[in-house]
Copies of this chain bind each other. A is one copy, B any other.
Amino acid sequence: MKIGIYGYGNLGKGVELAAQMHEDIELVGIFTRRDPASVKPLTNAKVYGAEALSRFKEEIDCLIVCGGSATDLPKLTPALASDFNLIDSFDTHKNIPAHFERVNAAAKAGGKLALISAGWDPGLFSLARLYAASILPNGKDYTFWGRGVSQGHSDAIRRIAGVVDARQYTVPIESALASVRAGESPDLTTGEKHKRECYVAIEAGADKARIENEIKTMPNYFADYDTEVHFISLEELHRNHSGMPHGGSVIRGGSTGLAGEHRHTVEFSLKLDSNPEFTASVLVAYARAIARMHAEGKIGAVSVFDIPPAMLSPLSREEMLAKML
């Protein structure tokens, strides 16, 4: 199975590394919109300019499109979907239906198969929500994110005058987690489930009180949350906060019985040292599924909900039944 990477940021690098772990997967090349000579891959992968991609239409079984959801993917994925089977990690939840329709039209026109919004949320967390809700219709689910770095919130802090660099961690509130795990089915806003920890390096002489206030009162990002602000040196920020950990839990509590007397809790949790490398690992496993399903004649756009789990595995049906079931 041959894959290509389109876009070489943190996610593209993760795909490059993840591809090496699968014996049946070969990385044909990395395609970049930058000058390919300026891109140094982590492995011995070949790097091409984006314009070279059209030469690989017959060779690539699945293209993994690694771009941002704000501006890149809404254009890139539909533009590529008529020429390549592909996967993206489009994660702007409210725009997923519209993105799906555009990609579906392009993929169908070209006779290709496209998986949108793969990764862990959307992706594995979506699967956890769907399985649990289908099994326990009489219940309620909760998604907790973290402890992990939010790039969007970190960027929002960096835009404040006087801030040199910043890192924001989304942290689940332990008492909320414990209540949900205990099956108490509390009513919780996002702000009651999470707090925000900010590590901020500022310019010499910048006004800490003003910056802290601007962070804590920022609408949507921080105003509705218990927010901690820690001023640290740029050196400490880079030394202690340069990783990209993340994770979280999807928890559904539900009841069964003649009068709902039996409680059940279903939980799916992730603890990730590297958000982009784990997301990339999900994409590569799904690339196997997309190439196989296209070979079986499937075209159009699909989500993780449409993929039979067996399609992700390199094992034969016999091995799966004997070892995994």
Mark A residues whose CB is within 8 Å of B: 14, 17-18, 21-22, 42, 93, 96-97, 100, 117, 122, 124, 126-131, 133-138, 181, 183, 256-258, 261-274, 277-278, 280-282, 285, 288, 303-310, 312-314, 318, 320-322, 324-325
Known: A137-B21, A313-B133. Is A264-B256 also a contact (CB below 8 A)? no
Partner of A310, one of B278, B285, B305: B305
A258→B271 CA distance, assembly (Å): 19
**What are 30 A-B contacts with C-beta separation under 8 Å?**
A17-B256, A93-B325, A96-B322, A97-B322, A122-B325, A124-B131, A130-B309, A133-B313, A134-B288, A134-B313, A136-B281, A256-B274, A256-B277, A256-B280, A257-B274, A262-B277, A264-B273, A265-B271, A266-B270, A267-B267, A268-B268, A268-B269, A269-B269, A303-B325, A304-B325, A305-B310, A305-B324, A305-B325, A306-B310, A308-B308
Q: Which of A261, A266, A312 has the most B CB atoms < 10 Å from its CB?
A: A266
Q: A97-B322, A304-B325 are in contact. List 14 more A-B contacts (CB 8 A).
A: A14-B256, A17-B258, A21-B137, A21-B138, A21-B256, A122-B325, A124-B266, A129-B324, A130-B313, A134-B314, A262-B272, A267-B269, A268-B268, A305-B308
CB distance from A108 to the nearest CB of B (A): 15
User: Are A273 and B281 neighbours in the complex by a CB distance under 8 Å?
Assistant: no
Chain B residues within 8 Å of A272, by CB: 262, 264-265
CB distance from A22 to the nearest CB of B (A): 6
Count the copies. 2
Chain B residues within 8 Å of A310, by CB: 130, 303, 305-306
A271→B263 CA distance, assembly (Å): 8
Q: Which of A100, A129, A130 has the most B CB atoms < 10 Å from its CB?
A: A130
CB distance from A173 to the nearest CB of B (A): 20
Known: A21-B138, A130-B313, A313-B133. Is A278-B305 also a contact (CB below 8 A)? no
Q: Which of A42, A122, A134, A313 has the most B CB atoms < 10 Å from its CB?
A: A134
Chain B residues within 8 Å of A262, by CB: 272-274, 277-278
A305→B322 CA distance, assembly (Å): 12
User: Are B325 and A126 neighbours in the complex by a CB distance under 8 Å?
Assistant: yes
CB distance from A16 to the nearest CB of B (A): 10
A288→B93 CA distance, assembly (Å): 27
A258→B41 CA distance, assembly (Å): 11
Chain B residues within 8 Å of A128, by CB: 268
User: Are A265 and B258 neighbours in the complex by a CB distance under 8 Å?
Assistant: no
Known: A96-B322, A262-B274, A305-B324. Is A282-B135 also a contact (CB below 8 A)? yes
Which residue of B is nearest A269, CB measured?
B267
Chain B residues within 8 Å of A256, by CB: 14, 17-18, 21, 274, 277-278, 280-281
